[in-house]
Structure 1
Amino acid sequence: MKPKKRVTIYDIAERLNITASSVSRALNNSNHVNEETKKLVLKTAAELNYKRNVLASNLRMGKSHTIGVVVPRINQNIFSNVIAGLEEVTNQQNYNMIICQSNESVAKEIKCVNALVNQHVDCIVISMSVETEDISHLRNVIDHGIQLIQFDRVATELETLKVINDNEQASMEAVEHLIKQGYKRIALLEGPQNLNIFKQRRDGYLKALKKHNIAVADELIMKNAWTKELGATATRQLLSLPQPPDAIFASTSDFSALGVLDVAHDMNIQVPSQLGICGYANEAFTELTNPSITTIDQFSMHMGRTIANLYFDELNNSEVAVTPKVISLKPELIIRSSTLRKG
């Protein structure tokens, strides 16, 4: 069965033998249309089951009251919670949201961004994919006069509103905690260095070692170990070294840390006495594993609310900002059983 044709103002105009502009004015309660015509138009619109095209109406006024969101993966804690925090505020402002995920693909990210631009959204909120290096598609957003807000994974060279975490400080605190627990050879599982967050987490790791006069061992730094599978592969390599690590900081994600824990269990390595494990992101499962996993909470719900409030503050602020705002949030180290050797 074919869907019914959408009723338009032209159908109402034809039924009443008046102009479409008269129908439009009547539906918008204009003073240029008499009350009798307004009542007749409203009655006919109801009879024909006319539904107002809110998007078209908003576009005529220069606003769509819609925010587009592009995230790498919706099912990760930080991104799902950011979306929830965003939605909490946007609902209060009677704004709609369109949510897209890139699945860590730059090609899909570009497709999502372009689709949102073509939908004339008022704002695009984005956290970049691991593949993203060329940011031409993000410059295109700005060129179209659409507000761009970057969060978590951002292009630092692009001057936009940004909401980020203090990744360097959080990583430094995590590694210092491991050192205080007596771990001497601390390995790092790092993500792609084209992304700012993974560079910052590496910097925090290196600063902590330097602060405590621990030499950097290149063989303990494993590149691009940002999924459970890659984390497990990297862990097997690390544990096969002549001098294996006694702790692993999975700075990329808790999924990577879960890969470490799986390998430790398979190899009958005791956690935390023989191997300490720390993740990043405070995924829900980290409380449920045996042992529970030490991690870093990014307060992603708060981040989502902060992004939305930043947008509406800028929207309502008549003053022109000299430099785009960058809001940095402080994550928190959540210490659990996987690193507690000293109680």
Structure 2
Amino acid sequence: MKNKKPTTIYDIAKKLNINASSVSRALANNINVSEKTKRLVLKTAKELNYKPNSIASNLRKGNNQTIGIVVPHINQNYFSNVIAGIEEIAYQKGYNIIICQSNESYQKEVKSINALINQQVNCIVISTSADFDKDDHLQTVLDHGINLIQFDRVAPNLETHKVLNDTEQVSMEAVSHLIEQGYKRIALLEGPQNLSIFRERKAGYIAALKKHNLPIVKELIKENAWTKELGEKATGALLDLPNPPDAIFASTSDFAALGALNAAKRRTLNVPQQLGICGYSNESFTEITNPTLTTIDQFSTKMGKAIADLYFEEIKDKLTTGPKKTINIRPELIKRASSQKV
């Protein structure tokens, strides 16, 4: 059964045998429309279950109070919390939000950006996809006079407002924690190195090893393992080495850490006694796995609110453009059973 099309002002106009412009003015309570016509239009609109299109209305008025958000995934706790933080503030300000998911595809990201530009949104908020290539589409946003805020995964060479975490420092703390628990051969599940955020996490991993005088072993570093499946596959390959690791730092995500935990269980390894595991992002499931997963809380809802506040307090209605602002929100290492060897 086909869905019934929503009622438009043209449907109301056709039923009343009047112009669509007259319907539009009546719905807007225009003083040039008689009270009789207004009552008739409102009565018919109710009968036909007419719902006004606020976005289209704002476009006609040149006042589209809408923020577009582009994220790699909407079904991950981290990104959904960022969106919730933005929406909470935006709702209070009378703004709508449009959410687009790139699903880690650069091409889908570009298409989403172009769609939001065509919607004439006031601001675009983005965390880039895993196969992010170049920032031409983001420069196009700026060329159209649309505000742009980057968060988490950013194009570092593009001068925009940014909301970030200090990922290098907290990654160093996470690996140092594993070392202090007695682990000596710590493997890294790393994200795509074309993204600065994953380069920073790798830098924190290396800094911790150097600080504790442990060697950097190339075979213990696995690229592009950010999903549960890829994390499990990468960990399986690591555990099959002649000299396997005794700990895993899944710097990409908690999903990769969950994959590492699955790989350990398949080999009947005791976590944390035989293998320590630390993830990243503090997904909700990390508290209910067996054992519970050590992770890093990025305070994602707080990040979302910081993004919204940045727009409404620092960008919106500003007549002149000052220097671009970068807000850093310090993440926190959460120590749980999967790394508590001592």
TM-score by length of 2: 0.90
- CA positional deviation for 1:112: 1.3
Assess, with a 3 A threshold, how the Cα gap between structure 1 residues 93 and 9 changes in structure 2: closer, same or farther: farther
Indicate the SS of the match to 2:116.
helix
The 8 Å contact of residues 292 and 338 in structure 1, kept in 2 or not, is answered as yes
- Matching residue of 1:174: 174
Report Cα offsets for 1:69-122 as digits up to 9, x if no partner.
111111111111111111111111111111111111111111111111111111
Quick check: 1:264–1:271 contact (8 Å CA) kept in 2?
A: yes
Change (3 A) 1:188 1:47: same
State how far apart, in whole Å, the 1-side matches of 2:63 and 2:11 are: 21
| Superposed CA RMSD | 2.4
Q: How far apart, CA to CA, are the structure 1 residues paired with 2:271 and 2:11? A: 69
Give the length in aligned residue pairs: 336
Report whether the alignment pairs 1:153 with 2:153.
Answer: yes
How much does 1:324 deviate?
A: 0.9
Deviation, 1:5, is 6.1
> CA–CA distance in 1 between the matches of 2:23 and 2:284?
54
Asked if structure 2 preserves the Cα contact closer than 8 Å seen for 1:9 and 1:24, the reply is no
| Separation of aligned partners in 2, 1:177 and 1:333 | 9
CA distance in 2 between partners of 1:249 and 1:24 (Å): 59
* 2:279 alignment partner in structure 1: 279
Match of 1:209 in 2: 209
Structure 2 residue ranges without an equivalent (≥5)? none
Residues 102 and 129, structure 2, Cα contact 8 Å, conserved in 1: yes
Aligned residue identity for 1:7: I
Shift in Å at residue 308 of structure 1?
0.9
Matches within 5 A, 1:84-163: 84-163=84-163
3-state DSSP of counterpart to 2:9: coil
Aligned residue number for residue 320 of structure 1: 320
Deviation track 1:113-154 (CA, whole Å, cap 9, x = no partner) reads 111111111111111110111222111111111111111111
* Distance 1:271-1:24 versus aligned 2 partners, 3 A rule: closer
Separation in 2 of the partners of 1:11 and 1:193?
A: 57
State the match for 1:42 in structure 2.
38
Correspondence for 1:300:
300
Partner-residue secondary structure (3-state), 1:328: strand
Aligned-partner SS, 1:191:
coil
Residue-by-residue CA offset, 1:284-329 (whole Å, 9 max, x unaligned): 1111111111000111111111111111113446363432111111
C-alpha deviation, 1:8, in angstroms? 4.6
CA positional deviation for 1:45: 2.1
Identity of paired residues, percent? 58
Distance 2:57 2:205 in 1: 52
